[in-house]
Amino acid sequence: MADDIFIKKDSAIQIGETLAKTGQDWWQSTARWLEVLAYDHKPSTGVSAKEILWRKNKSKLYHYQPTSERIYRVPVLLIYALINKPYVMDLTPGSSLVEYLVKEGYDVYLLDWGEFQWEDRELTYSDFVFDYIAPAARRVARNAGSTDISIIGYCMGGTMSTLYASLFNKPVLRNLVYLAAPIDFADAGAYDVWLRAPGYDPDRIVDAMELIPKGFMDWGTRMLNPVGNYLGTYTRLWKTIEEDEDEHFWKVLNKWATDNINFPGAAYREWIRDFYQHNKLIKNQITLRGRRVQLQRIKANLLALVGTRDHIALPHQTAAALTYLGGNDKTYLEYPVGHGGLVIGTLARDQVFPDIAAWLADRSDLMED
Amino acid sequence: MDNKAEQSQVTMIDPYKLWKKIYFSNEKVWTSALQDYIKTDVFANSIDLILNTYLQYLRFHKDLIDRITEESPLASKRDVARVAELVVSLETKVDNMELDVEDRLDSLDANVCSVKETPSQDDLIGRITQLEALMKDMNANLTALNKQLQTLAKPSRAAAKKETPPKSESK
């Protein structure tokens, strides 16, 4: 093991030459590292061909253009969280869930929330479910010419899909896919300690901030792994350059990780108080516009995907869906990745995307039927 | 021979590789140690102390700015947001109307589809011509029938006159 730190040469001169060359390589790597951090333009992301099917406020409903013949009648709607941006689902060609599903013959749609501003500070989960997700789902079904739809919800997007699924019957929700979506908020790791601490008062935060700034949201996520996020990200880039690996993937990932959005204050209050602090979702105590969210009412086929190294939505938080949701067809799959690893990286591309597509294929009508 | 060659080689620690190895091993240890630390109550409480102090300042600052901008003749952030909220609510109304119209069109489509074999215009003209011809025939038949009835009615009326006795005689 320790042998790789030794240099063995025929003469001291050769050793000197090797050291000089390594020193020069390191200097070049470091110069390139600084160049990437300081000057390099951000790479393009979310480049799959699409049209805007519907827009409301800052949100947009994208319809992805087919790259192959459409095989499945049931369309797929992707719903992302209110933290960071949804182009992580269509990160870069060759590593994009959207691109994969379109190639497999699915009619794919994505609801992009846009960037919330001061006038959106009063938006609540009721608004998101009733005024955004429900109309989007109707438009997806109408455009696809189908009475049924499938929803893939990532992280908080999965939780929001659950709220929708419990309250709306039309269009029929045939399949529900969770990607690291928290359903049970008990034992939520570091968040459990932070958000239940006596000094942490969401009302006080919202009263003072109204619109929660993106920097605050970003800090909350990054502090879950401070060394990894504040230092490791940059040393990893240096290592990538020094070992002559492709830096493109680091760039797209870093672009997404630092591209956060503001969070509406009213929704933040609900998210912390009702979900994290009181765990109301699994207790069927969430009420949206006078209608109670009851998880047993959700009869859709369920696929729950988790990363075993996820420290944002812990595996058991998603696995709880198998206990609380009402359908009969439930599948649970684990992968040795973190929170982002379900949609980013080689394991996502080689295992997660094919698993999702295959599971949906067994549960979606063909176009000829 | 090989052993001899190896023994004659000069060996030295590569300071670059050594540094890289130490650094990245250490980074893993720091990551793990800090991840454990942030899950402690001590960390959570100290962070909340900083956060609450900041929130106090923010609240004071916000109230002060609000008081100033209320008196100001210029539109404040809140004023602009109010207009934006009105625009969004108008958009929601239009959106709801659009969905409502689409629903009504759908139900109308369903009703129209339920009426089977809708006749074409040519079909209708043909049928009207047929009806007109039929009515002409019927008219002719009725006229003929009427004439026959009238001819039959004349002799019977004459016979009836003969058979009926005068009113005074019957008394």
| DSSP for B58-94, written as a single string | HHHHHHHHHHHHHHSSS--HHHHHHHHHHHHHHHHHH
Q: In the CATH hierarchy, which fold is given to the domain comprising A50-361?
A: Rossmann fold (3.40.50)
3-state DSSP: chain B helix, strand, coil percent, rounded to 5? 85, 0, 10
Instruction: With CB atoms and an 8 Å threshold, state whether B55 touches A204.
Output: yes
Among A1, A227, A234, A243, the strongest candidate for a mutation testing the B interface, having the largest count of B CBs within 10 A, is A227
Give the tokens for residue B122: 């040519």
Q: B144 or B169, which is more confident? A: B144
A199 contact residues in B (CB cutoff 8 A): 44-45, 48-49, 51-52
Please name the residues in contact with B16: beta carbons below 8 A apart, sequence gap of 6 or more: A19, A22, A23, A26
Q: Would you kindly state where each structural domain of chain A is located, as residue ranges?
A: 50-361
8 Å CB contact between A117 and A259: no
8 Å CB contact between A299 and A329: no
In this complex, which of B30, B47, B91 lies closest to A57 when CB atoms are compared?
B91
A118 contact residues in B (CB cutoff 8 A): 77-78, 80-81, 84
Query: Could you identify the residue written with the tokens 């049931």?
Result: A74
Task: Examine the residue annotation and report whether A218 is marked as an active-site residue of this protein.
Answer: no
Q: Would you kindly state where each structural domain of chain B is located, as residue ranges?
A: 1-74, 77-117, 119-153
Say if residue B160's pLDDT is above 50.
yes
**CA atoms of A122 and B153, how far apart (whole Å):** 95
**CA atoms of B108 and B112, how far apart (whole Å):** 6
Instruction: With CB atoms and an 8 Å threshold, state whether B21 touches A5.
Output: yes
Q: Give the pLDDT band (50/70/90) at residue B167.
A: low
Q: Give the pLDDT band (50/70/90) at residue B170.
A: very low
pLDDT in tens, chain A (369 residues): 455 888 888 888 888 998 999 999 999 999 999 999 998 888 999 999 999 999 999 999 999 999 889 999 999 999 999 999 999 999 999 999 999 999 999 999 999 999 999 999 999 999 999 999 999 999 999 999 999 999 999 999 999 999 999 999 989 999 999 999 999 999 988 898 999 899 999 999 999 999 999 999 999 989 988 998 999 999 999 999 999 988 898 999 999 999 999 999 999 999 999 999 999 999 999 999 999 999 999 999 999 999 999 989 999 999 999 999 998 999 999 999 999 899 998 999 999 999 999 999 999 989 875
Among B88, B97, B98, B109, the strongest candidate for a mutation testing the A interface, having the largest count of A CBs within 10 A, is B88
Query: Could you identify the residue written with the tokens 């935060």?
Result: A205
**CA atoms of A356 and A97, how far apart (whole Å):** 9
B34-89 pLDDT tens trace: 989 999 999 999 999 999 999 999 999 999 999 999 888 888 888 999 999 999 99
Task: Examine the residue annotation and report whether A339 is marked as an active-site residue of this protein.
Answer: yes
Instruction: With CB atoms and an 8 Å threshold, state whether A118 touches B24.
Output: no
**CA atoms of B96 and B101, how far apart (whole Å):** 9
Instruction: With CB atoms and an 8 Å threshold, state whether B52 touches A193.
Output: no
DSSP state of A3: G
A118: nearest CA partner in chain B: B81
Instruction: With CB atoms and an 8 Å threshold, state whether B10 touches A10.
Output: yes
Give the tokens for residue A67: 């790259």
A225 contact residues in B (CB cutoff 8 A): 31, 34-35
Q: Give the pLDDT band (50/70/90) at residue B5.
A: low
Q: What is the pLDDT of residue A41?
A: 85
